[in-house]
């Protein structure tokens, strides 16, 4: 196997260290191995001219945001759900925190389902019943104005 001298020396140092079989020793070994693997990956990237970073992370986030019905209200609810999950995992499990997490999760799922259903029904109306679709669009379009004030309402000559 062809390794660079730097990677080979890092591996020899890693194998030569005496480790404590406790949590701290395992954590230290994991960190050392992670550094070695990152070094190897960066060397491979430089030879193949690949960009740095995780290219998959951003795509998943964009897909979630762009899904039908996922708006700012869903995003804020999702953030509170994540905060609740983190507080639950950081300290000892408390029955009240657990109930709060499951309550927030249920609310988030119901909110996203409601928004998706609302958007899909409007999109279905576009194909099945165009008149109802345009009635809904016009209702939202002119909701802040009085319809009688529209310029396209021209009085008929009598």
Q: What is the pLDDT along the chain (158 residues), one digit of tens a residue?
A: 466 788 888 888 888 887 777 777 788 888 888 888 888 887 777 777 666 655 555 555 555 555 556 778 888 899 999 998 888 887 777 888 889 999 999 999 998 888 877 777 777 777 788 888 888 888 877 766 554 555 555 555 54
What is the predicted pLDDT for the residue at 54?
Answer: 58
Cα separation of 153 and 158, whole Å? 15
Q: Which of 7, 82, 76 shows the shortest CA–CA distance to 38?
A: 7
DSSP state of 149: G
Cα separation of 66 and 100, whole Å? 28
Query: In this structure, how many other beta carbons lie within 10 angstroms of the beta carbon of residue 100?
Result: 15
- If you search the block for the tokens 């529209």, which residue do you land on? 150
What is the predicted pLDDT for the residue at 65?
Answer: 52
What is the predicted pLDDT for the residue at 155?
Answer: 56
What is the predicted pLDDT for the residue at 103?
Answer: 94
Cα separation of 55 and 52, whole Å? 8
What is the predicted pLDDT for the residue at 119?
Answer: 72
Inter-residue contact 113 to 77 (CB < 8 Å): no
């Amino acid at each position: 196997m062809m390794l660079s001298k730097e990677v080979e020396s890092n591996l020899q140092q890693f194998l030569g260290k005496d480790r404590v079989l406790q949590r701290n020793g395992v954590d230290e070994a994991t960190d050392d191995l992670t550094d070695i693997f990152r070094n190897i990956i960066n060397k491979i990237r430089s030879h193949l001219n690949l960009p740095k970073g995780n290219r998959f992370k951003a795509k998943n986030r964009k897909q979630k945001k762009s899904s039908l019905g996922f708006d700012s209200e869903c995003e804020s609810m999702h953030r509170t759900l994540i905060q609740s999950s983190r507080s639950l995992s950081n300290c000892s499990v408390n029955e009240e925190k657990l109930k709060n997490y499951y309550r927030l999760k249920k609310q988030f799922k119901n909110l996203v389902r409601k928004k998706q259903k609302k958007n899909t029904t409007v999109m279905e109306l576009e194909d099945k019943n165009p008149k109802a679709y345009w009635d809904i669009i016009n209702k939202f379009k002119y909701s802040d104005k009085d319809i009688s004030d529209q310029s396209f309402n021209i009085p008929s000559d009598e």
